[in-house]
Amino acid sequence: MTNGNSVRVVAAGDHFILPSLIREAIGHELSCDVVELTLGWPLEPFGPVAEVTEASDAEDELIDALAGAQVLVTQMGPVTERVLDACRDLRLVVVCRGGPVNVNLDAAKRHDVRVCYAPGRNAAATAEFTVGLMLAALRRIPQAHNLLAGEGSWQGATYYTYEHSGLELEDLPVGLVGYGAVGSRVARALCAFGAQVMVHDPYVRGEIHGLRVSSLDELLRRSRVITLHARLTAETRGLIGARQLALLPRGAVVVNAARGPLLDEEALCDALESGRVSAAALDTYQQEPVPEGSRLFGFRDRLVMTPHLGGASRAVAEKAARIAAAEVGRWVRGEPLAHALT
């Protein structure tokens, strides 16, 4: 057990997970010295820093703040080999996100630094956002908004024609590819709407909300809407490509708020062009930001696009801070860590 009063914590937050949120959450766990540092994200983009990915370019600032500190709580702080070499007192890093991609795990292990993360922090927010995307695509809400608010054009009559009217969720066959923390919440929400929910996830056992379908191909053949919720791995990269999209009923809708590389965007554009897919809604992309000249921008009448906002809720920031603070409390008290990788 460590004496909390002797522990120095650096709360390296940003403009989303505020350092003050981290400090306040830690204050509910123990009394200790907390130093606040504000990194630039999302007002400044993240990217690769030395050997880590998706981090703020702030090695020098982090090294200065960590002088004499045993604990770092951060979302975007670059925990590189250089940082670990310079911060010999550091013993615990808690990353306020679903995976510590901003941490050199091998170097942390060599330096005897424990690394934790915050799984599930954005599951509810992403699930709600996914359902919102689905409704927007099915009922063409953004397109109607743009016509009325952007152009002052009252074209409700067009959307009331049978050909251009949307689909409703009640009784609609919706296939979920993946049934983790987000997918399971989406399934529950869709069941409440009265949708015919089907699920394909070979790694999930036990009861699910909806009908379990063992074959991905069969799920695609039976779904008027598919929504992706699989983790991105070597196995799932490009999981939905031209062959899979061709299995969908003509006029199907595709939703992806999980990871961009799960879906072959060129194949999606081909399917939108041919009418095999009538509409799609995307929050994640193969390349972010979406490059200028992307074919996706050519389908604005049938494609809902948002810039990776699924986890952008105040509750996510607050939950992440609480999860991280709980890990700090466990470490100080000498208890087993709940979400440790090293």
Catalytic residue numbers, as ranges: 259, 288, 308
d(CA 179, CA 264): 21
**SS3 category, 71:** strand
d(CA 60, CA 49): 12
The first and second tokens of residue 144, run together, are 């109607």
d(CA 265, CA 71): 41
**SS3 category, 222:** helix
Nearest to 280 by CA among 161, 142, 145: 142
Radius of gyration of the chain measured on its C-alpha atoms: 22
Residue with tokens 């987000």: 182
The first and second tokens of residue 332, run together, are 């100080």
Q: CA of 293: how far to CAs of 106, 142, 170, 296, in Å? A: 39, 21, 37, 8
Nearest to 70 by CA among 94, 101, 100: 94
